[in-house]
Chains A and B, each alone.
Chain A
Amino acid sequence: MADLTSTFVGIKSPNPFWLASAPPTDKEYNVRRAFEAGWGGVVWKTLGSEGPPVVNVNGPRYGAIFGADRRLLGLNNIELITDRPLQTNLREIKAVKRDYPDRAVVVSLMVPCEEDAWKAILPVVEETGADGVELNFGCPHGMAERGMGSAVGQVPEYIEMVTRWCKQNTRMPVIVKLTPNITDIRKPAEAAKRGGADAVSLINTINSITSVDLDAMSPEPMIDGKGTHGGYCGPAVKPIAMNMVAEIARNAETADVPISGIGGITTWRDAAEFMALGAGNVQVCTAAMTYGFKVVQEMISGLSQWMDEKGYESTADFVGKATPNVTDWQYLNLNHVTKAVINQDDCIKCGRCYAACEDTSHQAILMSEDRVFTVDDSECVACNLCVNVCPVENCITMKTLEKGEVDERTGEKVGDYSNWTEHPNNPAVVAAE
């Protein structure tokens, strides 16, 4: 059986699945139950400075986007950091870590952007026996209005400064959690590295309005007739998060920075994908909030089965394996030719591929009078849209033409690898000549 144990910035856990800092990790009761269910670690719900805790709105605090069958695809929240007293949290963290020494317990922090505030909190966290800290530079609502969270995370200089303060004031590993509400994710990651961060984690939630109440004319979740933008998470954000992970992983300046991948992870496959793109481990919030702590059991069994099938003995064997294959558009092979193929045995004749291709793409699908759908290779550009709209998995697939075969659309033979940088239509190439 594959070995799922994970070591992330020196922190060991029995598996790479951690609960992200959020309500699931807001108290001892939850975290104990999470560990019993099998989670490898937690990042405790973000703590603030000593003193009166923050106050949350009563609610509703969440809004959601659903897929078919009311499957929750995206969640939006307007929660703040923990609203429980600092001392209560610290006492509980200490008790949990003592009872679960094999699990990772990392503490998320968000205090004002002053060195003294960080100097004050780091030692008391260290005292709990926690394995590390995560700096929450991501929270996009409420805290940002007070100059914390994403207000820091959007200014690389602040990230660098605060990270440095932390590294100077604690022996614990420091993970910097990044906000996605920024144009180029590499900049804050580079700043974190300059500040001495041991790792980055991403993404935190994305600014969003999930819906509008058309009677009350207010965004939702609506609090007494008004709403505010919240933080978006769940399966819907996974593609955005994965791109950001990959950007950091393949950026020369940050390629050596360990990444904790977060954003929409719901199944073992999601986790494997993040890890293949360079995440050393993963964190999960919405999936646990949707399905309960037990959901980790599928992640564990699935990842270990897949690793066995692939012959990966440890997670390190595949972390970052896909990173070298993330490239810029200009390097993609323009001589890679594929054609859509519809498997007539699997086809249920819904005609969605036809509508998609005929109305919006390349008119490459033919429909007979008795609803048989076939691909016209002389028109198919292999855009993949028909594959994506087909309700039957693997009914439409892409067939790759071998070198030397004739592409019926262009009438030309498939040639060797060649990309845009050397293409005759590229003005840059012409200019160079």
Chain B
Amino acid sequence: MPNSQFTPGIASGRLSDTELKENFADLHAPLEAHEALVAADRCYFCHDAPCMTACPSSIDIPLFIRQIATGTPEAAAQTIFDQNILGGMCARVCPTETLCEEVCVRETAEGKPVEIGRLQRYATDTVMESGKHPYTRADATGKKVAVVGAGPAGLSAAHRLAMKGHDVTVYDARKKAGGLNEFGIAAYKSVDSFAEREVEWLLKIGGITLETGKALGKDFTLASLQDEFDAVFLGMGLGGVNALRAEGEDKSGVADAVDFISELRQSNDLSSLSVGRNVVVIGGGMTAVDAAVQSKLLGAQNVTIAYRRDKGAMGASQYEQELATAKGVRILYNAAPKKVIGNGAVEGVEFEYTTTEGGKLKGTGETVTLEADQVFKAIGQTLSGAPEELAMDGGKIAVSEVGATSVTGIWAGGDCASGGDDLTVTAVAEGRDAAEDIHSYLMGGA
């Protein structure tokens, strides 16, 4: 091990293989059978359960937990998959602390919710590890649907459409399917190539042709899809990133957090990945936390997340913030980037402290400079390359409740579409609902 945490600049191999392996292990270990029974036992089987309402994909949580409690995790998985075919990934990546578990009545009673996420993983793992795919296709309808984007939204739509008997072709610009499940989610949330295995398992339903390395706007157009298919679903996520608009942004060592994460997710050998000794991450969302934590886990000595507003306003949940600090990341609140300092390569970032007055963010005039040899920008993603024919809403494709766009025959869902939070589970739910609407459109229903 030639390098260490103290090696200056950007370097690889700061930690031993053993340390890296430990650092990037499962964030939450799977529940053992006994643990699952104990955890399931705590569910009260609430009426019109708050957790179920809080779940963007409306999984019948009390029912699936009861099914675990009565020794039928397979039935539990079915209950989950019926609503959310990517229930396995969601069990790993959902910010349950702000969704189902936040509203669990045992959170109210004891400050300790039923461990819904881990129980969901227990159930879905049982079925997925058996290799069985519990759905079959309805009789062929002869209808063809194109799905653009093989992220959670596109995959969920494709599965539901295939199940209804339609023939689905999924196009993705990348070489590999999965969207941010494969390229974005923090490594310690989806270990052992889970994203890849999940896609394989999902495709077992049949009727879905995957075309990777094919991009809308490059290899085909919306019009050509409309010609060839009976309906189109767009689930292309947010491909662009916001600019920092700070002086010196172009210095070497400054990169987009999503690119760093994607490189990390695709790496087979973490010891070959380079990371700075002093890393500064600019932003306040889940991406900022993931980039910071993973930098730290790769062996950066000092990692700081600088966020321009206060703690309460931060997009990353309280839980995520605590995760970051527990891993040794420092979070600097109320610090807005002014300029990136350095001579060719970045050496530091100057921030101005801020306050909020009358709802408006204002600089205080006081500045602080953080030493940095690597800077990650995590200030939000944007939709890029949306087809011009479609009406937009706040920078995203405008859609109805069921995902219909302004153009008949075209639906959209997930991060690229208006409404809903930018979460895996929301993308899955929107893909599913759009598929249902596409189905009734194709079959001449309501």
Expressed in whole angstroms, the Cα–Cα distance for A291 and B62 within the complex equals: 11
The reply to whether B47 and A292 form a contact with Cβ atoms under 8 Å apart is yes
Q: Does A7 sit within 8 A of B, measured CB to CB?
A: no
Q: Which residues of A contact B125 (CB under 8 A)?
A: none
Check if A297 sits within 8 Å of B63, measured CB to CB: yes
Contact B34 A392 (CB under 8 A): yes
Does B72 touch A at the CB level, under 8 Å? Answer: yes
Also in contact, A306 and B72, with CB within 8 A (given A295-B45, A393-B34, A393-B37): yes
* Least CB separation from B70: chain A residue: A267
B67 at the interface (CB under 8 A from A): yes
In the bound complex, residues from chain B placing their C-beta under 8 Å from that of A295 are 45, 66
User: B75 interface residue, CB < 8 Å from A?
Assistant: yes
Q: Let me know if B385 is at the binding interface, CB within 8 A.
A: no
**A297 CA to B66 CA in the complex, in Å?**
10
Q: Beta-carbon contacts of A265-282 to B below 8 Å, as 1s and 0s?
A: 001110000000000000
User: In the complex, are the beta carbons of B34 and A301 less than 8 A apart?
Assistant: no
Known contacts A69-B42, A291-B45; A298/B70 CB under 8 A: yes
For the complex, give the distance between the alpha carbons of A393 and B63 in Å: 22
Residues of A contacting B: mostly: helix
Q: In the complex, A69→B79 CA distance in Å?
A: 26
In the bound complex, do residue A302 and residue B70 qualify as a contact, i.e. CB atoms below 8 Å apart?
Answer: yes
Known: A69-B42, A297-B63, A298-B63. A269 touches B34 (CB 8 A): no
Q: Which residue of chain B is the closest to A309 with respect to CB atoms?
A: B74
**B75 pairs with A301, CB closer than 8 A:** yes
Shortest distance from the beta carbon of A347 to any chain B beta carbon, whole Å: 11
| Given known contacts A291-B45, A295-B45, A302 and B67 CB-to-CB distance under 8 angstroms | yes
Residues of A within 8 A of B79 (CB): 301
Q: Is the CB of B70 within 8 A of A69?
A: no
- B68-93 interface with A by 8 A CB criterion: 70-72, 74-75, 78-79
**List of A residues within 8 angstroms of B41 by Cβ:** 69
Closest-CB distance, B98 to chain A (whole angstroms): 26
* B37 contact set on A, CB distance < 8 A: 393
User: CA–CA, A257 to B433, complex, Å?
Assistant: 51
B-chain residues with CB within 8 Å of residue A291 when the two chains form the complex: 45
Measured between alpha carbons, how far is A267 from B71 in the docked complex, in Å? 10
Name the contact of B72 in the complex, choosing from A292, A302, A394 (C-beta under 8 A): A302
A-contact bits for B51-69, CB 8 A (1 contact / 0 none): 0000000000011001100
- Which of chain B's residues has its CB closest to A348's CB? B34
- B70 to chain A: which residues have CB within 8 Å? 267-269, 298, 302
Instruction: Find out whether the CB atom of A301 lies under 8 angstroms from the CB atom of B42.
Output: no
Which residues of B, 12-41, contact A by the 8 Å Cβ criterion?
33-34, 37, 41
> Would you call A301 and B78 a contact (CB within 8 A)?
yes
Contact residues, A313-365 vs B (CB, 8 A): 346
Contacts A69-B41, A298-B63 known; A346 to B34 CB distance under 8 Å?
yes
Min Cβ gap B39→A in Å is 13
Judge if A32 is at the interface, Cβ distance under 8 Å: no
Q: Given A268-B70, A294-B63, A392-B34, decide whether A302 and B42 contact each other with a Cβ distance below 8 A.
A: no
Report the bound CA distance from A235 to B75 in whole Å. Answer: 23
Give which listed residue, B62, B72, B74, B78, contacts A268 with CB less than 8 A.
B72
Q: Is A305 an interface residue (CB 8 A)?
A: yes
Chain B residues in 8 Å Cβ range of A269: 70-71
Interface size class of B (residues with CB under 8 A): 10 to 19
Closest partner residue, chain B, to A268 (CB atom): B70
Give the residue of B47, B62, B72 whose beta carbon is less than 8 angstroms from that of A301: B72
A374-411 Cβ-contact flags toward B at 8 Å (1 or 0): 00000000000000000011110000000000000000
- Shortest distance from the beta carbon of A292 to any chain B beta carbon, whole Å: 5
* Interface size grouping (class) on chain A: 10 to 19
**Proximity bits, A238-276, B CB within 8 Å = 1, else 0:** 000000000000000000000000000001110000000
Closest to B74 in A: A305
Bound CA span A295–B75, Å: 14
Nearest chain-A residue to B62 (Cβ)?
A294
Distance to closest chain A CB from B109 (angstroms): 11
Distance (whole angstroms) from the CB of B65 to the closest CB of chain A: 10
B232 vs chain A, min Cβ distance (A):
34
- Cα of A395 to Cα of B34 in the assembled complex, Å: 10
Q: Quick check: A301 and B67 within 8 Å, CB to CB?
A: yes
Contact A302 B34 (CB under 8 A): no
Report how far A69 CA is from B40 CA in the complex, Å: 13
By beta carbon, the residue of chain B nearest A300 is B75
Let me know if A298 and B34 touch, CB within 8 A: no
B250 to chain A, nearest CB (A): 57
- Complex CA distance for A302 and B72, rounded to whole angstroms: 6
Q: Chain A's nearest CB lies how many Å from the CB of B107?
A: 16
Nearest CB in chain B: distance from A291 CB, A: 5
Question: How many Å from the CB of A60 to the closest CB on chain B?
Answer: 21
Interface hub of B67, B74, B75 (most chain A Cβ within 10 A) = B75
Is the CB–CB distance between A305 and B72 below 8 Å?
Answer: yes
Residues of B within 8 A of A395 (CB): 34
Please indicate the chain B residues that have their CB under 8 angstroms from the CB of A394 in the complex.
Answer: 34
**How far apart are B258's CB and chain A's nearest CB, in angstroms?**
41
Distance in angstroms from B31 CB to nearest chain A CB is 14
CB proximity of A342 to chain B, nearest CB, Å: 14
Q: B67: which A residues are within 8 A, CB to CB? A: 298, 301-302
Q: In the complex, what residues of A have CB within 8 A of residue B78's CB?
A: 301
**Complex contacts, B62 vs chain A, CB 8 Å:** 294
Q: How far is the CA of A294 from the CA of B47 in the complex (A)?
A: 9
User: CA of A294 to CA of B43 in the docked complex: distance in angstroms?
Assistant: 15
- Please, which residue of chain B has its CB at the minimum distance from the CB of A291? B45
The CA-CA distance from A302 to B186 in the complex, in Å, is 36
Q: Measured between C-beta atoms, what is the minimum distance from A390 to chain B in Å?
A: 11
The B388-409 residues at the A interface (CB cut-off 8 A) are none
Contacts of B47 in A (CB 8 A): 292, 294
Residues of chain B within 8 A of A294, CB atoms compared:
45, 47, 62-63
Q: Which chain B positions have C-beta within 8 A of A301?
A: 67, 72, 75, 78-79
The residue in chain B whose Cβ has the minimal distance to the Cβ of A298 is B66
Residue of A with least CB distance to B71: A269
Tell me whether B75 and A305 are in contact (CB under 8 A): yes
CB distance from B253 to the nearest CB of A (A): 49
Bound-state Cα–Cα, A243 to B72, Å: 26
Provide the residues of chain A in CB contact with B42, threshold 8 Å.
Answer: 69
Interface residues of B in 181-239 (CB under 8 A from A): none
A240 nearest CB across to chain B (Å)? 22
Chain B's closest residue to A306 (CB) is B72
| CB proximity of B6 to chain A, nearest CB, Å | 41
* Pairs A-B, 8 closest by C-beta atoms: A301-B75, A267-B70, A298-B66, A302-B72, A291-B45, A305-B75, A305-B72, A302-B70
Instruction: Report B's interface with A, CB cutoff 8 A.
Output: 33-34, 37, 41-42, 45, 47, 62-63, 66-67, 70-72, 74-75, 78-79
Given A295-B66, A346-B34, 14 extra CB contacts under 8 A: A269-B71, A292-B45, A292-B47, A294-B45, A295-B45, A298-B67, A298-B75, A301-B79, A302-B71, A305-B72, A305-B75, A393-B34, A393-B37, A394-B34
What are some 18 contacts across the A-B interface (CB < 8 A)?
A: A294-B47, A294-B62, A298-B63, A298-B70, A298-B75, A301-B72, A301-B75, A301-B78, A302-B67, A302-B70, A302-B75, A305-B72, A305-B75, A346-B34, A392-B34, A393-B34, A393-B37, A395-B34
